[in-house]
Amino acid sequence: MRTSREVSVPVRTTAVRTAPFDAIRFLGALQVSVGHYYGVSCRSVRIDAGGGNAVMLFFVMSGFVMGVAYGDRARALGRQADAGVHLLKATSYGETDTIVNGKGGAVSRLSLNSFTLRFLARRAARIGPLYWLSLLLYLPYSFYEQCRLPHLDLADPTSFALPMCTADEIDLIALTTLTTALFVTAWIPYPYGASINTPLWTVTCQFSYWALFPRLALWLPDRLSLRRTLFACALLGLLYAASSVAVAAVVFAADYQPETNMFARKPPPIMYAYLVAHLWPLAKMPIFLIGQLCGAAAMQLSDEAQAREQSRTQSDAPSDTPSPVDDTRKQPDEQRWWPRVAGLVTLFYLSFTAMQVYVSSVPALGKRYMLVMRIGSELAFPPLFGLWLLALSQSADSRLGRLLSCRPLKTAGAISFAWYVLHMPLLSYYGWLRLGFTPYWAARADRSLPLLSAVEILPFFALLAVLSIAAHYLIEVPARRELSRKLDLMS
């Protein structure tokens, strides 16, 4: 008869400090919202603040944080499942999971699948309330945008009547709304899957990664040297760039343009090919893996730092016998490299973003900018972002780390998700109410007509800050706690 035996998942006693990430997260949300303001609602000045790079940074950060928070547990479950053990109890991260012998692979695999479902449910509980709210807020605007905007005729006042959608247009809006609500919209080719509050496509990419995360954590090596980790990140970066270029090349060579009314004017073929490749979730998976590998490296470095500290403490303790010479005193000199790396990458990223803002605002450089700076940086920067986050996690006590971890920036990071998902609905209704019904939609139909001014971004951002703070503290946090409590009761 088979007897059960308890196996404890190793409990981590060291922490990877990710407090500086909050400020980086808000910076990314700010870049995206600035780009959308000057790209959609402002005609006098065109500015791209590097929103595409910010999205890549979000993806790397998501992989990093997930790898640090859940990587050990997912790997333990997967390996024990391979050995035929069954999970009886899974507590929150940082506590001990109790595992006993099961009855074979089928029962064991059920443990990993159960963990995956609970993991996805908790991620949905965390981001879902504001995500679904922003979708509902944008939906009324989307009806008019998709049903009437492509048909407006400035010479015909009757074309500004209330939207009357055809059956096909209603079906398309319903399909897009449903796929967005279920976190799968990015898998539908552009523009069908990116029409209802378009920034939400990034969340669906993250959800696709979260669905694969437990098995990816099992497959990826969890103990690599720093040099091998950086080399693996470089290879993943090349894989991401090659897959994105291949998708864009196929779409461009096919010369495909969608027959849909979602475009008031069709984009150039090269822009359409870029958008399809940019929004394709499968091409983004290597970016998440870069973050996950760097998160594993951060955990290993933290363990090594704690071991050196314990060795130093023991060597400094009074003893009757002389202790051997310990080379751990070299650690302060070695540790200075991480703050330097973090500072250099931070300076480079801010400088490059400032250059993007300047180059994109010069009309004569627009095409060259799009081909070289925007697309090139989006393809090349993910491995650099992994190094940046790794360096910040190892230099939280440096001047830069303390600056990025200060309370105002931590608060800004806390509201960054609300800022990100709500800025497009607010921007759309703000322009509509600010200019009036007919002038606004006339300007949307004719790009030669002015919309909002360049300086009006300041009152818009003030309103967005108030809305984001209210949404975070009155909706996001209470809803997250209530949903998490119900999930705990169900499990």
pLDDT in tens, 241-260: 999 999 989 888 886 665 55
User: Among candidates 325, 335, 334, 328, which has minimal Cα distance to 310?
Assistant: 328
Q: How far apart are CA 16 and CA 65, in angstroms?
A: 9
Name the most confidently modeled range: 87-96, 207-216, 263-272, 339-348. Answer: 339-348
Model confidence at 101: pLDDT above 60: no
Pick the more confident residue, 126 or 260: 126
Q: How far apart are CA 436 and CA 422, in angstroms?
A: 21
The pLDDT of residue 4 is 38
* Residue 207 phi, psi (nearest 5): -65, -35
Of 38-42, 204-208, 403-407, the least confident: 38-42
Name the most confidently modeled range: 64-73, 76-85, 202-211, 297-306. Answer: 202-211
Pick the more confident residue, 234 or 41: 234
pTM of the model: 0.85
Going from N- to C-terminal start, the domains of the chain cover 19-86+103-311+364-490
The pLDDT of residue 459 is 94
The pLDDT of residue 160 is 60
Q: How far apart are CA 78 and CA 112, in angstroms?
A: 6
| Token pair in block for residue 426 | 């607010």
Q: Are 491 and 117 in contact (CB under 8 A)?
A: no
Q: Burial of 384 by CB count in 10 Å (0-12 exposed, 13-18 middle, 19+ buried)?
A: buried
User: Among candidates 474, 425, 472, which has minimal Cα distance to 145?
Assistant: 425
Q: Are 144 and 195 in contact (CB under 8 A)?
A: no
The pLDDT of residue 21 is 94
